[in-house]
């Protein structure tokens, strides 16, 4: 029985302090994403019971200080002060610090002591510190800081009981006091406080300390010119007194932290060489590091291709089984067609790529968790700065390789508005996981590897290299477009770029799996809603009208042709003729469907790209979500009942169809590449448009993004096909 | 006086002063790079920019243009 009033506990710490590991260890599966009005950061909330006391845990985004420079950073500060309507003021603030880097992590702790709330220090990475010969006397440290210090190893569950006990006993106690600032500073704070009676003391200090910070912008916005002048005078007086901001804060806090650390921590006289030192000698080296980066990227994409195959075949078999089951138990007609051709085949063709998405997220999670992501940003920064972006844009862009939606949302870490907008506008150019299905399908169908059954195939490295090249299209296009935007629409100065390179560590299996599953689930949910709706719409546009000019149902004509085939028995010529008739009827039906009519009328526009009306129609129909293009191709090329014995029926159907007609017959590889390039560059994703609308606050930017990307996709596909055609002709 | 941008990989020095954009200065402070601290350049990225430096037990990546705001003592520290 838990009858006690729940305790609100906030977790605060530097990025990479081990905060998420602690959060997961404490709250397990009982966690959710909190909703905060007008906020773009994702805050996780968890629950656990400490004895009889239910604890509500809030995991704040990782931060180096409480000096907020953006609205999102301010949310964390407001939450800690109980100034958000969604949460009560925390009863206890847990400051998560890294034992291997105590000085810097305790800087944030010293700021937390100013909040006027009980603070508990949770010290992580104690094992790593011990390995470096660093000994921390927690009792002495606790006495020096004036708050309890609990050593933990969250991944092994060590110290968690002690931590929760300490949280319980600390709740409701007298809040600690932070380091004392020089009297000159305190005098200025008191003077400002008198003018700002309704503002908490901590924020008045931040107002004075953070030049052009969020608090200054917010308060001078409200209190106008007088405050601005007052602030400038105060800062001038402080500078004259030898306490210039922001240096006075660094000196005061680090001085205080140093004293505590000197008393409680013993370090070896010579800093031992760590694994991070050894690894960084190679991984951030200008030559070896770049080679390693390229190798890692190639490995990631080649692995996606190889590992996912058996899993995909299993899912495909399941889809076939479901379709056959429905076909056997329902009468022919629009409803059965809807279920089999719309729902099962549509969603099935999307679900089948779940393994690849999960594997991609596995890599993204591992690279981030082990600390390599920051190295990638370091290596890529110069490149990004050439197009007016910074390394901070690299992470959102790289996340967009998984999905542009989290990528666009993660641009919130970019303080500079123009940089952020530029990143949002080009992030959808990065090849997201939804494009992967299209690439994989077309590569498997038209650039297969050589094997015993397929002696005409390509060398083993061709599929992986082609897939890599498709990702490269986005990697190249995004910076170029960004540069153009920064030179024209979004001209401005370069922002600050200082980044921490965390120590390497072994990725935590549980955290990696958690992210992988979350990503997969998010994809399935999308597949289940937006995509299913789109699939059904497209199915209807392809199914109706379901009567020919003479008023005979296409389904009846197909059934008649199939009956003829069955009746043919051992007569192979008659069976083949019946098969051809059936396919002809099917083709006529699709050509006459509403979607087919639109696609056919636009065929002249597709011809320069090497496409026939089918490919054009599939591209048109995938406006709501590009994943649809696969399901769409599946429907449009479904030329017989013999789908799926080997799990690659669609690929075979396309190959067969292409061999018989259009530009694809002579130039199958250029046509496939042209379609892939189109998918690589086009913004066919309703969800992304909606997110851009939310992040930019108007419909103009999503409309602009859609327009420029569609134009770019058309030109890119055109160039690809025309160049590809020339190459094929020359090679003949 | 030399700046952090003048050091080559493997060289170290002591921070004398920080200048420039207040947001940059404050971020450097928060990351432990402030007056009197020893700092060591570890690596240059491809194309020579940004630089990886060690300060305290942290590794930071900063651009040459930013590193030029950090005045350091003549070597050796």
Q: Most A CBs within 10 Å: which of B9, B38, B46, as the mutation test of the A interface?
A: B46
Coil, strand, or helix at residue A121?
A: strand
If pLDDT is split at 50, 70 and 90, which confidence band does A643 have? very low
| Residue A121 pLDDT exceeds 90 | yes
| Residue A727 pLDDT exceeds 70 | yes
Q: Most B CBs within 10 Å: which of A132, A277, A378, as the mutation test of the B interface?
A: A378
pLDDT of residue A344: 81
ipTM of the complex model: 0.94
Q: How far is A121 from chain B (nearest CA, A)?
A: 18
Work out the percent of chain A whose per-residue pLDDT is above 90.
31
The DSSP element (H or E) to which A696 belongs, if any, is helix A686-696
Q: Using alpha carbons only, what angle is made at residue A412 by residues A249 and A505, rounded to the nearest 5 degrees?
A: 75
The pTM score is: 0.77
Instruction: Find residue B70's DSSP bridge partners.
Output: B18
Residues A298-313: tens digit of each pLDDT: 887 678 767 877 887 8
| Residue A639 pLDDT exceeds 70 | no
If pLDDT is split at 50, 70 and 90, which confidence band does A627 have? low
Distance from C-alpha of A425 to C-alpha of A688, rounded to nearest angstrom: 10
| Residue B68 pLDDT exceeds 50 | yes
| Residue A648 pLDDT exceeds 90 | no
If pLDDT is split at 50, 70 and 90, which confidence band does A416 have? confident
If pLDDT is split at 50, 70 and 90, which confidence band does A514 have? confident
Q: Are A351 and A637 spatial neighbours (Cβ–Cβ below 8 Å)?
A: no
Residues B7-57: tens digit of each pLDDT: 999 999 999 999 988 889 999 999 999 888 999 999 999 888 899 999 988
CB of B29 within 8 Å of a chain A CB? The answer is yes
Provide the token pair at A518.
């979350």
Higher per-residue pLDDT: A568 or A478: A478
In chain B, the residue whose alpha carbon lies closest to the alpha carbon of A98 is B57
A278, A282, A284, A290: CA torsion to nearest 10: -160
Instruction: Find residue A121's DSSP bridge partners.
Output: A95, A149
CB of B8 within 8 Å of a chain A CB? The answer is no
pLDDT of residue A274: 86
Q: How far is A413 from chain B (nearest CA, A)?
A: 14
Residues A264-284: tens digit of each pLDDT: 999 888 888 888 889 998 998
Query: Of A204-208, A489-493, A710-714, which gets the smallest average pLDDT?
Result: A489-493
Residues A366-387: tens digit of each pLDDT: 888 888 888 888 888 888 888 8
Interior/surface letters A611-623, b for 16+ CB within 10 angstroms, e for the rest: bbbbbbbbbbbbb
With 0-12 / 13-18 / 19 or more C-beta atoms within 10 angstroms meaning exposed / middle / buried, residue A301 is: buried
If pLDDT is split at 50, 70 and 90, which confidence band does A615 have? confident
The DSSP element (H or E) to which B13 belongs, if any, is strand B12-18
Q: How far is B43 from chain A (nearest CA, A)?
A: 6
Distance from C-alpha of A58 to C-alpha of A27, rounded to nearest angstrom: 10
In chain A, the residue whose alpha carbon lies closest to the alpha carbon of B26 is A246
Beta strands A149-151 and A119-124: pairing type?
parallel
Residues 6+ apart with CB under 8 A from A33: A42, A43, A44, A45
Residues 6+ apart with CB under 8 A from A69: A210, A213, A214, A415, B23
pLDDT, mean over chain A: 84
Higher per-residue pLDDT: A547 or A406: A547
Q: What mean pLDDT comes out for the span A353-372? A: 79
pLDDT of residue A2: 47
Q: How far is B27 from chain A (nearest CA, A)?
A: 8
Q: Which of A525, A487, A572 is nearest to A405 (CA)?
A: A525
Q: What mean pLDDT comes out for the span A224-235? A: 88
With 0-12 / 13-18 / 19 or more C-beta atoms within 10 angstroms meaning exposed / middle / buried, residue A566 is: exposed
Residues A150-200: tens digit of each pLDDT: 999 988 889 999 999 999 999 989 888 889 999 999 999 999 999 888 899
Phi/psi of residue A34, nearest 5 degrees:
-75, 150
Provide the token pair at A459.
């060398």
Residues A524-542: tens digit of each pLDDT: 765 556 667 767 887 788 7
| Residue A644 pLDDT exceeds 60 | no
Q: How far is B40 from chain A (nearest CA, A)?
A: 12
CB contact under 8 A, B50 and A382: yes
pLDDT of residue A650: 64
**Which of A65, A285, A415 is facing B30, going by the closest CB pair?**
A65
| Residue A628 pLDDT exceeds 70 | no
Residues A386-409: tens digit of each pLDDT: 888 877 787 678 778 777 776 776
pLDDT of residue A154: 84
**Which of B31, B34, B44 is facing A498, going by the closest CB pair?**
B31
CB contact under 8 A, A67 and B48: no
CB of B2 within 8 Å of a chain A CB? The answer is no
| Residue B1 pLDDT exceeds 70 | yes
Query: Of A2-6, A86-90, A601-605, A645-649, which gets the smallest average pLDDT?
Result: A645-649
**Which of A100, A290, A501 is facing B52, going by the closest CB pair?**
A501
């Amino acid at each position: 029985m838990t009858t006690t009033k729940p305790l609100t506990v906030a977790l605060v710490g530097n990025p990479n302090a081990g905060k998420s590991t602690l959060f997961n260890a404490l709250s397990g599966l009982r966690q959710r994403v909190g909703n905060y009005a007008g906020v773009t950061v994702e805050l996780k909330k968890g629950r656990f019971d400490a004895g009889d006391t239910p604890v509500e845990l809030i995991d704040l985004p990782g931060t180096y200080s409480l000096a907020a420079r953006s609205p999102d950073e301010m949310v964390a500060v407001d939450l800690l002060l109980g100034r958000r309507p969604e949460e009560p003021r925390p009863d206890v603030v847990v400051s998560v610090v890294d034992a291997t880097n105590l000085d810097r992590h305790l800087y944030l702790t010293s700021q937390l002591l100013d909040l006027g709330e009980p603070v508990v220090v949770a010290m992580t990475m104690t094992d790593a510190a011990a390995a470096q010969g660093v000994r921390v006397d927690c009792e002495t440290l606790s006495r020096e800081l004036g708050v309890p210090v609990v050593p933990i190893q969250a991944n092994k569950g060590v110290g968690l009981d002690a931590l929760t006990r300490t949280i319980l006993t600390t709740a409701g106690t007298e809040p600690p006091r932070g380091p004392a600032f020089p009297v000159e500073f305190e005098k200025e704070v008191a003077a400002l406080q008198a003018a700002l009676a309704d503002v908490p003391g901590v924020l008045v200090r931040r107002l004075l300390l953070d030049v052009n910070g969020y608090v200054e912008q917010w308060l001078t916005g409200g209190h106008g010119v007088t405050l601005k002048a007052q602030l400038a005078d105060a800062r001038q007086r402080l500078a004259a007194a030898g306490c210039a901001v922001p240096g006075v804060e660094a000196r005061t806090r680090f001085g205080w932290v140093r004293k505590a650390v000197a008393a409680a921590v013993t370090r070896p006289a010579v800093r031992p060489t760590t694994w991070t030192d050894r690894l960084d000698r190679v991984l951030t080296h200008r030559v070896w590091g770049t080679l390693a980066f390229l190798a890692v990227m190639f490995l990631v994409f080649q692995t996606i291709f190889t590992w996912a195959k058996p899993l995909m075949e299993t899912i495909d078999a399941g889809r076939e089984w479901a379709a056959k089951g429905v076909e056997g138990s329902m009468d022919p007609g629009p409803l059965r067609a809807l279920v089999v051709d719309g729902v099962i085949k549509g969603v099935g063709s999307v679900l089948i790529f779940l393994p690849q998405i999960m594997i991609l997220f596995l890599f993204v999670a591992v690279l981030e968790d082990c600390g390599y992501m920051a190295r990638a940003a370091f290596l890529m920064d110069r490149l990004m700065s050439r197009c007016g972006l910074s390394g901070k844009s690299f992470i959102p862009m790289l996340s967009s390789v998984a999905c542009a939606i989290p990528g666009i949302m993660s641009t919130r870490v970019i303080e500079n508005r123009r940089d952020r907008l530029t990143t949002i506008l080009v992030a959808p150019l990065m090849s997201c996981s939804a494009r992967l299905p299209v690439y994989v399908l077309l590569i498997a169908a038209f650039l297969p590897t050589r094997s015993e059954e397929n002696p005409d195939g390509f060398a083993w490295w061709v599929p992986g290299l082609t897939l890599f090249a498709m990702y490269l299209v986005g990697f190249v296009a995004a910076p170029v477009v960004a540069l153009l935007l920064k030179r024209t629409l979004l001209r401005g100065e370069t922002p600050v770029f200082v980044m921490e390179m965390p120590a390497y560590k072994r990725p935590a299996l549980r955290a990696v799996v958690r992210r992988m599953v979350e990503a997969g689930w998010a994809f399935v949910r999308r597949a289940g809603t937006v995509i299913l709706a789109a699939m059904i719409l497209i199915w209807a546009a392809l199914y109706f009208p379901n009567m020919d000019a003479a008023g005979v149902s296409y389904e009846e004509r197909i059934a008649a042709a199939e009956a003829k085939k069955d009746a043919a028995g051992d007569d192979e010529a008659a069976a083949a003729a019946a098969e051809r008739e059936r396919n002809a009827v099917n083709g006529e039906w699709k050509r006459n469907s509403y979607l087919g009519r639109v696609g056919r009328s636009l065929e002249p526009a597709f011809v320069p790209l090497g496409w026939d009306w089918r490919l054009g129609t599939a591209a048109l129909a995938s406006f709501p979500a590009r994943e649809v293009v696969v399901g769409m191709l599946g429907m449009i090329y479904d030329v017989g009942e013999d789908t799926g014995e080997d799990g690659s029926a669609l690929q075979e159907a396309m190959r067969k169809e292409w061999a018989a007609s259009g530009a694809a017959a002579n130039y199958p590889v250029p046509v496939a590449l042209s379609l892939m390039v189109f998918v690589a560059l086009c913004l066919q994703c309703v969800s992304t448009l909606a997110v851009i609308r939310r992040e930019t606050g108007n419909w103009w930017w999503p409309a602009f993004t859609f327009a420029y990307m569609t134009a770019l996709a058309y030109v890119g596909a055109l160039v690809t096909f025309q160049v590809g055609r020339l190459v094929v002709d020359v090679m003949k | 006086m030399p700046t952090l941008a003048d050091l080559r990989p493997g060289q170290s020095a002591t921070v004398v002063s920080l200048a420039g954009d207040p947001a940059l200065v404050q971020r450097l402070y928060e990351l432990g790079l402030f007056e009197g601290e020893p700092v060591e350049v570890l690596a240059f990225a491809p194309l020579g920019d940004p630089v990886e430096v060690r300060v305290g037990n942290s590794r930071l990546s900063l651009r040459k243009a930013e590193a030029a705001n950090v005045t350091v003592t003549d070597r050796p520290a």
